[in-house]
Amino acid sequence: MKYIINTKGEVIFQAENAGNFEDGLCPVQVNGKCGFINTTGLVVIPCVYETVGQFKNECAIVKQGGKYGLINKYGNLLIPCEKSNGDDVPLPHEGVICINIGTSEKKVFKCVDTNGNHLFTEAALVPFEFSEGVATIWSKYDKGTGLINKSGEYIIPEGIYNHISEFHYGVAEVSSETTGKRGFINHQGEVVVPIKFDYFSGDPFPVMGAILSGKYGYIDVRTGKEIVPIQFDLKGGRCPDIRYLSTDDMVVIHIEDEVYIYNIKTYRLFKSSRYKEIYRYSEGLCCVRDKVSEKIGFINTEGKLVIPCIFNKPSYTYEFHGNICAMGNDVIDKQGNILRKIPKGNKIRHKYGKYHIEYGGDYPPYENLLDENGNIIYSGVEINTYGDFPIAVRRNSDGKWGFIDKCGKLVIPYQFNESYSFYDGFAILDEPITKVLHNSNKGCYIATAIYGSYDCPEVWTLRRYRDNVLDHTWYGRLFIRIYYSISPTLVRWFGTTHWFRELFYKPLNNWVAKLNKKGFKNTPYRDKD
């Protein structure tokens, strides 16, 4: 049985099997048949299919009667279940599905949208896929390719170009039918980069290497502007690759001893011979290595050095995530301030958008989880950094797993034997939920911080002792009053630190063991009103 839970730990659906949410829908299997639920756990596409795929672009492949077809998010069959192989079912591209209504020898494609509305019908040798609102069409072997829009109207007739690529950044690469030379056109078919080049190198980014008569340089193919002049001798038949195009839209190009940095948003170019290496931009900063000192620093998107080259080169590539970056055993902020020093022998790692510190020598390793400002928000024996928050953490006392949020707060109590991950706000469990967080205003603050949950055997024992022994004497009530006035502040300041847990963990364990021997149970307990 699979249990689908939300970030509050609420089970929204139980099924024999389940996939992940895509486009707000999740495939589930009930009584051997498959369908889909929405994010509230409501079955919106009945479980009548033998198998179903994940929703992609508002459509999913389904199998019924041993044959495959295609449905939309309303459960309507866009393509009847008639295909023997799921790979033969066409998927939508930019909301357009090309369905062959002809024969395998003479193809005719009916184009519909994801609601099943007819757009146009056109004969072609192969299916055509839309990108940026247009598609390359090839209807005859000897006529080259043409370009059509979503109404089936020709923007460029066949016979002008031998090849038209997919559109990226508003342009597409073309090659002349007569000369074989290459250039770029826009959506209107207008030539942006002259059709005179021998070859273009690189992925379909706005900056590409251009080769002409044995020389190479780099061009912004959106405008045709030469970023790096075409003047370098070609070696090995191709020009050097563009090093990176990062999430900050910065292009880094190394040519001989020069480094070119190009901002594709502002169209500004920076050139430098100061740096031996330039790595990858992240969070508006890029790591650089000085030629003379061999030290590491950071430049901004204007090419200005904002963190001096004073750090030693660690053994791995380093990028900012949030406001922090790991530099060997140092955690620094965007101003270059050292926020935290990690003792030698320990490792700071970044995985799946999260930083954590592994303390060496122990197995399983003791770990600290850092927030985007370098603060320790959680300490534990094992942290699962896969997926989204809340993420799974393991309790040392019994090896059980629970979930914490971005602040390190336990939001789903320790109760699972396995580690699970959230994606798009939901997790698929192989185990039922047995505990939920208690919302009492009392709260055993220190005990909860140590054991990770208000509802666990150790805290149940302590709560019984509080209500049935301490609360019955004046000095016991005085202790409770002092405890609840001080402990919230202590936990808020120090609750996620290693030393705090070490200070209280053994004494509390010993005290709980003594109370259990005296007859205080460790079974579920409800506080007295």
415-457 pLDDT, tens digit each: 999 999 999 899 999 999 987 765 444 456 788 777 766 667 7
Structural domains of the chain, count: 2
Token pair in block for residue 36: 């889909």
State the burial class of residue 107 (Cβ atoms within 10 Å of its Cβ: 0-12, 13-18, 19+). middle
**DSSP assignment letter at 275:** E
Token pair in block for residue 160: 């002008």
Query: Is 214 contained in some domain?
Result: no
Where is the domain boundary, 135, 163, 197? 197
Per the CB < 8 A criterion, the answer to whether 370 and 358 are in contact is: no
- Integer Cα distance of 304 and 302 in angstroms: 6
Contacts of 23 (CB under 8 A, 6+ apart): 55, 56, 57, 58, 73
Task: Note the pTM of the prediction, 2 decimals.
Answer: 0.72
Query: Is 2 contained in some domain?
Result: no
Per the CB < 8 A criterion, the answer to whether 239 and 256 are in contact is: no
- At 148, phi and psi to the nearest 5? -125, 160
Q: Tell me the mean pLDDT in the region 275-284.
A: 81
Q: Tell me the mean pLDDT in the region 118-128.
A: 91
Query: Is 495 contained in some domain?
Result: yes
Question: What pLDDT sits at residue 440?
Answer: 43
Token pair in block for residue 511: 């005290």
> Is the pLDDT at 237 greater than 70, yes or no?
no
Out of 68-77, 401-410, 485-494, the most confident range is 68-77
- Integer Cα distance of 512 and 524 in angstroms: 15
Where is the domain boundary, 134, 164, 197? 197
Contacts of 30 (CB under 8 A, 6+ apart): 15, 16, 43, 47
Selected residue with higher pLDDT from 480 and 96: 96
> Is the pLDDT at 414 greater than 80, yes or no?
yes
Token pair in block for residue 381: 């024996």
Task: For the chain, give the mean pLDDT.
Answer: 85
The pLDDT tens digits for 41-57 are: 999 999 999 999 999 88
Query: Is 17 contained in some domain?
Result: no
Instruction: List 143's β-bridge partners, or say none.
Output: none
Where is the domain boundary, 197, 217, 235? 197
pLDDT band for position 252 (cuts 50, 70, 90):
confident
Per the CB < 8 A criterion, the answer to whether 351 and 342 are in contact is: no
Query: Is 165 contained in some domain?
Result: yes
Q: What's the chain's length in residues?
A: 529
The pLDDT tens digits for 81-95 are: 999 999 999 999 999
Query: Is 221 contained in some domain?
Result: no
Collapse the DSSP code of 332 into the 3-class scheme (helix H, G, I; strand E, B; otherwise coil) and give the result.
strand
The pLDDT tens digits for 1-23 are: 999 999 888 899 999 999 999 88
Place of tokens 């079974």: 523
Question: What pLDDT sits at residue 363?
Answer: 52
Looking only at the bridges linking them, the beta strands covering 67-72 and 77-83 are antiparallel
Range of the structural domain that residue 484 is part of: 438-529
The pLDDT tens digits for 459-472 are: 888 988 998 899 88
Query: Is 478 contained in some domain?
Result: yes
pLDDT band for position 506 (cuts 50, 70, 90):
confident
Query: Is 449 contained in some domain?
Result: yes
State the burial class of residue 291 (Cβ atoms within 10 Å of its Cβ: 0-12, 13-18, 19+). middle
